[in-house]
Amino acid sequence: MTYQPLHLKYRPQSFAELVGQRAIATTLTNAITSQRIAPAYLFTGPRGTGKTSSARIFAKSLNCQHGDFPTPTPCGLCNSCTSISKGLSLDVVEIDAASNSGVENIRQIIDRTHIIPVNSRYKVFVLDEVHSLSSQGFQALLKTLEEPPKNVVFILCTTEIHKVPATIISRCQRFDFKRIGVEDMIQHLNQIVNEELIDITPQALRLVAQISSGCLRDSQCLLDQLSLLNITIDQNWVWEMVGNVPEYELLTMVERIAENDSNSIITIIRNLLEWGKEPLIIMQNLTSFYRDMLIAKTSPSSKEMVMLTEDTWQQLCQIAKDWETTTILAGQQHLRQCEVQVKLSTQPQLWLEVAILGLLPAANSTNSSQFIPIAENPPWTNWKTPADAIAWGQQKLPNMSLESLQEHWNSLIPVNGKKAPIWVETVQQLASFR
């Protein structure tokens, strides 16, 4: 049998199978049973939440040949249903507006609306990514939406409703697709796991759902990838697959930061790098963890605002109690500022360490009194060449070799066209941990 990706294999075939969009499924089902079909629908919402799937189900519902009327439970077997599923129907046309955005494309579509359906009740035009249409394209569409030929239905799909003109929106029945809730997603993934005999722990499955941030397609793709491992999939494998730093490592890091334990931090960072985590990913993961900690601190009841597992969230809420809000904020800001250095530097690893060590209380309180007040008396006023800067660095870091100082200097990315201020900051930070 040929391999079919899970997200295609498990595309919902009826509104009953649509996950996590109950209000939409009910309304569309009622519209079909009561035969109150609007000429234009607008499906909007985040990616991978069921817009295109719903458009196809709706088209099948309208045209299923199993009975004499439209039905909310299309048979999936008749000519009409199968040809729509395969994208071969002459009466149900799916157009990717992103690659057909011009006015002439829309004119062609409008011409086709006048052709009587071949062997269906309705001609259905699904305009995917409709926000990509040119303004003339929208103009051309507008007239048709206002007075569409009989038995023509438009379904416009978009992830970016703000790019769709209000004149278009107001002529459509609008449906807002929501992110799929974690519990709904887990239930759905569980069915797939049982059917496909995938060996995964309940905790790992929950993690897959949480990582996917409400996008069902992403969760299915991740599960698909994991299933190729052919072993019992646990949480560590999930973290491994997505390339992110495991939450428990981030928790430990934050704890060690609070304890001022620079040795442990360096060990954690080196281990993560050894496992193949990218410096930039480590940096970004820690930055968003600080953001989560800020939420844990300021509104511990808002778990839904973060994408953490329940256990981690509980622990983070405990840890956050001992942190000052200002410290968390300053830390997050510091990490953001350092991100560009990690991103662009030829020595991202060094920068990662400098940035994370800069979060330690030692770097911000006791030792900061030894820092040269840069604004008043910048040490670089007398520097003429990079060698002067490096010589200054050597005074501060007598144990570091000239080559490695030179290397650090070379790896600096100028900020506002200058290297000196960022050099001073780096050297001071390194010096405070020697």
Ligand X SMILES: Nc1ncnc2c1ncn2[C@@H]1O[C@H](COP(=O)(O)OP(=O)(O)OP(=O)(O)O)[C@@H](O)[C@H]1O
The smaller minimum CB distance to Zn ion, of residues 82 and 288, is found at 82
The smaller minimum CB distance to ligand X, of residues 22 and 114, is found at 22
Task: Find the length of the chain.
Answer: 434
CA-CA-CA-CA dihedral for 379, 380, 384, 386, to nearest 10: 100
Helices (H) and strands (E) in the chain, counts: 21, 5
Q: Give me the sheet containing 40-44, strands edge to edge.
A: 92-96, 123-128, 152-158, 40-44, 173-176
The smaller minimum CB distance to ligand X, of residues 10 and 289, is found at 10
Reference 175, options 155, 148, 204, 196; nearest CA is 155
Q: How far is the CB of 212 from Mg ion (least distance, A)?
A: 16
The smaller minimum CB distance to ligand X, of residues 94 and 353, is found at 94
Stretch that binds ligand X, among 2-10, 58-66, 108-116, 233-241 (CB under 6 A): 2-10
Q: Which does 12 bind (CB under 5 to 8 A by kind): Mg ion, Zn ion, ligand X, none?
A: ligand X
Alpha-carbon span 395 to 224, nearest angstrom: 56
The smaller minimum CB distance to ligand X, of residues 157 and 265, is found at 157
The smaller minimum CB distance to ligand X, of residues 51 and 256, is found at 51
Which one of 7, 179, 256, 297 is in contact with ligand X (CB under 6 A)?
7
With binding defined as CB under 5 A, does residue 81 bind Zn ion? yes
Reference 372, options 420, 307, 300; nearest CA is 420
With binding defined as CB under 6 A, does residue 144 bind ligand X? no
Coil vs helix vs strand at 306: coil
Q: Which does 171 bind (CB under 5 to 8 A by kind): Zn ion, Mg ion, ligand X, none?
A: none
Which one of 17, 46, 75, 151 is in contact with Zn ion (CB under 5 A)?
75
Closest CB to Mg ion: residue number? 52
Alpha-carbon span 278 to 265, nearest angstrom: 16
Supply 429's token pair.
């930070």
Alpha-carbon span 131 to 66, nearest angstrom: 35
The smaller minimum CB distance to ligand X, of residues 161 and 400, is found at 161
Cβ–Cβ < 8 Å for 58, 38: no
With binding defined as CB under 5 A, does residue 280 bind Zn ion? no
Cβ–Cβ < 8 Å for 176, 27: no
Taking CB under 5 A as the criterion, which residues in 8-67 touch Zn ion? Answer: 64, 66
Q: Which residue has the tokens 């000429």?
A: 39
Closest CB to ligand X: residue number? 50
Taking CB under 6 A as the criterion, which residues in 218-237 touch ligand X? Answer: 220
Q: Which residue has the tokens 């970016």?
A: 160
The smaller minimum CB distance to ligand X, of residues 18 and 211, is found at 18
Which one of 52, 101, 212, 219 is in contact with Mg ion (CB under 5 A)?
52
Taking CB under 6 A as the criterion, which residues in 9-68 touch ligand X? Answer: 10-12, 18-21, 47-53
Taking CB under 6 A as the criterion, which residues in 166-195 touch ligand X? Answer: 180
Q: Please, which residues have CB within 8 angstroms of residue 146's CB and are 6 or more apart in sequence?
A: 171
Supply 343's token pair.
């991103």
Coil vs helix vs strand at 334: helix
Q: How far is the CB of 16 from ligand X (least distance, A)?
A: 10
Supply 376's token pair.
């008043």
Residues that bind ligand X (CB under 6 A): 7-8, 10-12, 18-21, 47-53, 157, 159, 180, 216-217, 220
Residues that bind Zn ion (CB under 5 A): 64, 66, 74-75, 78, 81
Residues that bind Mg ion (CB under 5 A): 51-52
